[in-house]
Amino acid sequence: MRSSVLDSLTLPLVQAPMAGGPVTPVLAAAVSNAGGLGSLAAGYLTATATEDLLRSYRTLSDAPVAVNVFVPEHHRAVAADLQAYRSALRSWADSQSISGEVPAVPAHNDDEFDQKIAMLCRSRPELVTFTFGLPDSVTVARLQDVGVTVGVTVTSEEEAVAASTNGADVLIAQGIEAGGHRGQFDQSAAPLDISTSDLVQRLAARTRLPIIAAGGIDGPEKAQALLDSGAIAVQIGTLFLTTEEAGTKPTHRAALLHAAADGASTVLTRVFTGRPARALANRFTAALDDRSVIGYPQVHFLTAGIRAAAAAADDAELLNLWAGTGVRGCRQESVSALLARFSSLSVRSAPPGDAARSVRAHVAEEVSR
């Protein structure tokens, strides 16, 4: 059991990995240097680019860091569905004079999974977390053998049991409120409608693994309630998107701040990437939701040209504005101001449920094995 990385935190708060640009080494280091845990995001990057990020992080902080990896999809998209969605996207874009290329349907790719695992075994960040699937037990053991703690993102009890069976040290319990992609192992399934709070309680009763609660946190009250339900830490994404240290696209940042002020709603949609994800509703989600298909990662590449053109034109209506339901808590602020809002968080000494016991005692017991 290697969750000592979480046990050593002075603030039980993990900055969520957020692939696609928002997470910078400066952001992750600001969180870890303040006693929380920063996470780098390897998704969409090469193994070499991920290693460069980790090196940059190490120049900014000696504190622990997490690196997050996408597990390659088991469910392969149906070719005819992808072609149909490409046609729908093209005719919609043409009819609306939307710029940005819609390319031919690309081949499936595994996001350099094997290269990333090899690199992480060499570089040894303190924690490696996975999303979009279940890493096999050999991969989990390879990382653990070189001293890396392994976390798996789960969205249901069944996924938690499978992660535990494959040797995970930590579970990231992602509730339905979370911003960005659902981490569910099977992209073709309808997202399970379980709140973060319910999921944490169910997992605390079912497993002895430490649980990090992710999804919908809008401020310290919600975060503390999740810790009181049995989580050892909370993982926050959306609120970090509007911090000064984040690399969030200006259009996305402005939309989040606008939503925080005016109360815009979020939707779960496959329109941008083919995998369910929570985003602010906009013209893109409204126009294409009923034609969307199961198709990650290919749909991500089909929409990339339109999204890049939208970002360049500062058009929030055509961009994937990932956001959790906690978006109301977004502020334009520094990481230190955000963390100050959460400075009073504390982990309860004994989680409720059948597994009731001190998380710290549990960790100590496992470490001494």
Contact positions vs ligand FMN (CB under 6 A): 16-19, 22, 41, 43, 68, 131, 153, 174, 177-180, 183, 214-217, 235-238, 322, 324, 326
Query: How far apart, in Å, are the Cα atoms of 208 and each of 67, 128, 161, 361?
Result: 23, 19, 10, 11
Kindly state the smallest distance separating residue 321's Cβ from ligand FMN, in Å. Answer: 9
For residues 318 and 279, what is the distance between their CA atoms, to the nearest angstrom?
Answer: 12
Residue 164, number of CB atoms within 10 A of its CB: 18
Q: Which is nearer to ligand FMN, 178 or 293 (CB)?
A: 178
Q: Which is nearer to ligand FMN, 285 or 362 (CB)?
A: 285
The 3-state DSSP class for residue 323 equals coil
Classify residue 333 by its DSSP letter: B
User: Residue 263's Cα: distance from chain center in Å?
Assistant: 23
Q: Which is nearer to ligand FMN, 85 or 240 (CB)?
A: 240
Choose among 232, 246, 239: nearest CA to 215: 239
Q: Which is nearer to ligand FMN, 100 or 326 (CB)?
A: 326
For residues 339 and 220, what is the distance between their CA atoms, to the nearest angstrom?
Answer: 10
CA angle in degrees (0–180, nearest 5) for 258-260-262: 65
24 within 8 A of 186, measured Cβ to Cβ: no
Q: Which is nearer to ligand FMN, 9 or 214 (CB)?
A: 214
Q: Which is nearer to ligand FMN, 237 or 276 (CB)?
A: 237
Report cis status (omega within 30 of 0) of the bond before 12. Answer: no
Strand partners, 280: 266
Kindly state the smallest distance separating residue 343's Cβ from ligand FMN, in Å. Answer: 18
Q: Which is nearer to ligand FMN, 43 or 191 (CB)?
A: 43
For residues 170 and 154, what is the distance between their CA atoms, to the nearest angstrom?
Answer: 10
Strand partners, 131: 70
The 3-state DSSP class for residue 316 equals helix
